[in-house]
Amino acid sequence: MRDTGIGIAPEHIAKLFQPFVQVDSALNRQYEGTGLGLALVKRIVELHGGQVGLTSEVGVGSCFTIDLPYVLAPSATPVLPPPNVLNTEQRQPDPSSIPLILLVEDNEDNIVTVAGYLEVQGYRLLLARNGQEAIDWLQTQCPDMILMDIQMPGMDGLEAIRRIRHDLSLGQVPIIALTALAMEGDRDRCLAAGANDYLSKPVKLKQLAATISRFLEPPQTG
């Protein structure tokens, strides 16, 4: 997962994965969170025998990677299929045919939940933490769908949706707004701004899956 965020200094990378540690612990910091998300990710990945990697540059962005060991399940059937099957059906899918989803969200817990789910489903993923970062991604990337949080620091989701619909030549990329349950009437504001649909937060994965499937074919796995 790659972002174009504030980046992380080398001396902060080691403590990034410790629980309840925020690199910026000032009371007026711009980015909220409990400091548990990355610690949980690391713990879960390591329990599966994998590891979490991170490269980052301050002011440029960060790239998180997760390596998980792939173990073939024991099987009664022969390991190798007949050669003709091997040649036609074992081909890797073309990466550009896998749907690309831009997730725009500032809340760390929601990022872990939604991004984790989408990656398990096999989607390719871009992450932005406010509207401006989303616009920046769209200068070079053409996602097949955008999941847009509404309340974010800097440029909020409504403004970002309006700019995407008016300024950018993205055609009719589906935009799903993510809104807090308490915000009655926000559904109409999201749709008026140009969103195709909305999901109430906290996002339930079943509803997320159902909504995505109305706009996108799921990735071909295997």
Q: How far is the CB of 109 from Mn ion (least distance, A)?
A: 10
Q: Does 151 bind Mn ion (CB under 5 A)?
A: yes
Q: Which is nearer to Mn ion, 22 or 151 (CB)?
A: 151
> What residues between 14 and 73 interact with Mn ion by CB under 5 A?
none
Q: How far is the CB of 128 from Mn ion (least distance, A)?
A: 12
Q: Does 149 bind Mn ion (CB under 5 A)?
A: yes
Q: Does 106 bind Mn ion (CB under 5 A)?
A: yes
Q: Which is nearer to Mn ion, 99 or 190 (CB)?
A: 190
Neighbouring CB atoms inside 10 A of 48's CB total 11
Q: How far is the CB of 140 from Mn ion (least distance, A)?
A: 24
What is the number of the residue whose Cβ is closest to Mn ion? 151
Number of residues that bind Mn ion (CB under 5 A): 5
Q: How far is the CB of 106 from Mn ion (least distance, A)?
A: 4
CA distance 93 to 20: 40
Across 157-220, the runs of DSSP E, i.e. the strands, are 175-180, 197-201
Q: How far is the CB of 107 from Mn ion (least distance, A)?
A: 5
Asked if 17 contacts 52 with a C-beta cutoff of 8 angstroms, the reply is yes
Long-range contacts for 5-13 (Cβ within 8 Å, ≥24 apart)? 5/61, 5/62, 5/129, 5/133, 6/31, 6/58, 6/59, 7/56, 7/57, 7/58, 7/59, 7/60, 7/61, 7/62, 8/54, 8/56, 8/58, 8/62, 9/58, 13/54, 13/56
Q: How far is the CB of 200 from Mn ion (least distance, A)?
A: 13
Among the listed ranges 6-14, 49-57, 94-102, 152-160, the one in contact with Mn ion (CB under 5 A) is: 152-160
Across the chain, the runs of DSSP E, i.e. the strands, are 51-57, 61-67, 100-104, 124-128, 145-149, 175-180, 197-201
Among the listed ranges 44-52, 77-85, 100-108, 194-202, the one in contact with Mn ion (CB under 5 A) is: 100-108
Interacting residues with Mn ion (CB under 5 A) = 106-107, 149, 151-152
